[in-house]
Structures are given as C-alpha cells and as structure tokens.
Amino acid sequence: MKYLFGAPGTVSGLLLRVGQCLVASASIGAMASAFGFSNYTAFCYLIASMGLQVLWSFGLACLDAYALRIKRNLQSPVLVSLFVVGDWVTATLSLAAACSSAGIMVLYAKDLNFCRSQPQIPCSRFQISIALAFITWFLIAISSFIMFWLLASV
Amino acid sequence: MKYLFGAPGTVSGLLLRVGQCLVASASIGAMASAFGFSNYTAFCYLIASMGLQVLWSFGLACLDAYALRIKRNLQSPVLVSLFVVGDWVTATLSLAAACSSAGIMVLYAKDLNFCRSQPQIPCSRFQISIALAFITWFLIAISSFIMFWLLASV
C-alpha cells in the first residue's frame, strides 16, 4: 500500500473527500437559496452535478473511514480503476457545470450589465455558488490525478 | 519507445494532433463568421482558447512529423512531462470555453427562447462552433490521458 497524499484509505484521502463534500454542499446551498435559479438550465445542472459530487465524495469518505478503522488496504487495481472512472466523470461534470454557470454569470454581470440594472437578480449568491463549484472541481481534480497516478503505477 | 496509440513520435499521434488542429480551426472559423460574436465574452474566450489549442497541436504535429522522419524517440521523461502539462492545460481551457459558451447557448435557445424570437442572432453558427469545440476537447482529452499514462509508466 502506497502512502501517497490523498490516496484511498489514508487520513489525507479522507480529509480531501470530506472537503469535497462540504464545499459541494455549500455550493448547492448558496444556489438553492438564490431566488429564481430554476429559470436557468445551467444553474439547475450545477445543483445536479454538485449533488452527484456530494454523493460520490460522501460514499468514498465513508469507505476511507471504514478502511482506516479496520486498517484495510483499498489499493487493489480493481478498486482503484473504479475510483479513477468515478473521479474523472464527476470532475468533468463539475467543471462543465461550473463553467456553463460562469458563462451565464459573465454574460449577465459584464456583457449585459444586468446585475446593476436589474437588482432583483441575486447575482452575488449565484457568484458565490459558482466560486464554490470551482473550488469543488479543484479538490476533485487533485483526487483524480492521484488516483490515475496510483492506477498507472499499481 | 512504446508504440501506444497516440503516443508522441508515432503515426497515430501525428493524426490525432492534426485532427485537433483541424477541428479547432473549424470551430474558430464558424464562430468568427457569426455576426455579433464579439458582444459575448464567452464566445471571445472560445476563440482564444481554440487559437491556443491550434498553436499547441500544430507545434506537436510538426514535432511528431520531424520525429517520424528522422526516426527519433520523443518519449524521454522530460519531454513527456512537458507534453502532459501542455495537454492538460489546453484540455481544461478547451472544456471551460466550450461549456461556458454552451451555457449561454442553452440560456438563449431554451430558457429565453431568443433563437426563435430574435432571428438576427446567428444561433446555428454559434451551435456549430460550440459542437466543434466539444469535439476538440474530446480529441485533446484522449491525448492527455495517453500522455499521463506514458509519464506514469516511463
């Protein structure tokens, strides 16, 4: 078993998963509390993608905690392949969701100047949610690289 | 030297790079020929990102062709690390550009129904350009995975 930072079944891996879970939940919270988000397909997709991320990271956090408790090795090729596929899929979906929402936000805030002229649009909440989605993507990208590295060297 | 599909210095690698170059150029062409694209930050960013992709892929295609001609091995750890970093950076930028533009397109075509109500917006050209950007991302993602795999097993 390799004690790489963030590898499955290590304390750093568990912390990384818990971090992903918390930031993604905060992103969902900020978006869901913004009035009128459901009028935008991209913002609904952001919530769906962050929801999937929470489920995936929470599942792996539980697995990491269990492995740490019973001191079990999680780094078999089959398990690591599964983690790699899941991590890459959720990472790509998170980046896609964050970027499509950011595209709309830049359009509203900069190109059309709606954030100033139409104060009923909760721009700041949207922006906080999108920023948190980007942080989630960054954290899951770290996990994805570590998993891929582990798989290639297993 | 490994003869992995798409590895640097092989015929498949050269074809993959040429394909990236062509599709990215077509995406730029479709976007630049659409009237009024410069009013949207995301569409300008798409052109910038695809331009960077063309430069990177063209450079590597030339390098592949040169290596094939003089039968030189390009798979040293230093060179492969450079390819990995470049490929991952351009792949992430391409996906971000394609998704942010797609976010705006979904907003216009579905949420606000502008494509029907305002026929002066060249929706179909924007859509073609975005679709080509996604294809470019897919091709560069293949290269990125191959390079990362090579680096981990060099």
The verdict on residue A1 lying in a domain is no
Residue B152 pLDDT: 80
Could you say which DSSP state residue B38 is in? G
DSSP-assigned states of every residue in A24-37: HHHHHHHHHTSTTG
pLDDT at A1 over 70: no
Give CA–CA dist B148/A88, Å, rounded: 13
The verdict on residue A4 lying in a domain is no
pLDDT at B3 over 90: no
Residue A72 pLDDT: 85
The verdict on residue B71 lying in a domain is yes
Residue A75 pLDDT: 83
Per the CB < 8 Å rule, is A99 touching B100?
Answer: yes
What contacts 24+ positions apart, CB below 8 Å, involve B115-120?
B120/B35, B120/B36
Taking residues B79-83, report their average pLDDT: 92
| Angle subtended at Cα A87 by Cα A82 and Cα A92, rounded to the nearest 5 degrees | 135
Of B41, B96, B152, the CB nearest to A111: B41
Question: Which structure tokens are listed for B78?
Answer: 């230093």
| Angle subtended at Cα A94 by Cα A90 and Cα A97, rounded to the nearest 5 degrees | 135
Per the CB < 8 Å rule, is B100 touching A102?
Answer: yes
Could you say which DSSP state residue A107 is in? I
pLDDT single digits (tens) B27-57: 999 999 999 999 999 999 999 999 999 999 9
Could you say which DSSP state residue B112 is in? S
The verdict on residue B99 lying in a domain is yes
The verdict on residue B4 lying in a domain is no
Residue B132 pLDDT: 97
SS3 A109: helix
The verdict on residue B33 lying in a domain is yes
Instruction: Give the distance from residue A103's alpha carbon to the nearest chain B alpha carbon, in angstroms.
Output: 4
pLDDT classification of B1: cutoffs 50, 70, 90: low
Report helix, strand and coil shares of chain B as percent, to nearest 5: 80, 0, 20
pLDDT single digits (tens) B90-104: 999 999 999 999 999
Taking residues A14-41, report their average pLDDT: 95
Taking residues A27-53, report their average pLDDT: 95
Residue B25 pLDDT: 97
Length of chain A: 154
Percent of chain A at pLDDT > 90 equals 78
Q: Is B112 on the interface with A (CB under 8 A)?
A: no
Note whether B111 and B82 are within 8 A (CB).
no
Q: Model's pTM, two decimal places?
A: 0.91
Residue A3 pLDDT: 73
pLDDT classification of A102: cutoffs 50, 70, 90: very high
pLDDT at A5 over 70: yes
The verdict on residue A5 lying in a domain is no
Mutate to test the interface with B, among A2, A80, A93, A107 (most CBs of B within 10 A): A107
The verdict on residue A3 lying in a domain is no
Tell me the residue range of the domain where A86 lies: 11-65+76-153
Residue A48 pLDDT: 97
Task: Name the burial class of residue A69, with classes exposed (0-12), middle (13-18) and buried (19+) by CB atoms within 10 angstroms of its CB.
Answer: exposed
Residue A139 pLDDT: 96
Taking residues A50-61, report their average pLDDT: 96
More confident residue, A104 or B1: A104
pLDDT at A20 over 70: yes
* Domain count along chain A: 1
| Angle subtended at Cα B129 by Cα B125 and Cα B133, rounded to the nearest 5 degrees | 170
User: Which residues 83-102 in chain A show a CB within 8 A of chain B?
Assistant: 92, 95-97, 99-102
Question: Which structure tokens are listed for B49?
Answer: 């990102």
Residue A9 pLDDT: 87
pLDDT single digits (tens) A59-97: 999 999 999 999 888 888 899 999 999 999 999 999 999
Question: Taking chain A, what is the end-to-end CA distance rounded to the nearest angstrom?
Answer: 9
- Write b or e for each residue in B116-137: b if 16 or more Cβ atoms lie within 10 A of its Cβ, otherwise e: eeeeebbbebbbbbbbbbbbbb
CA nearest A15: which of A139, A100, A149, A129? A139
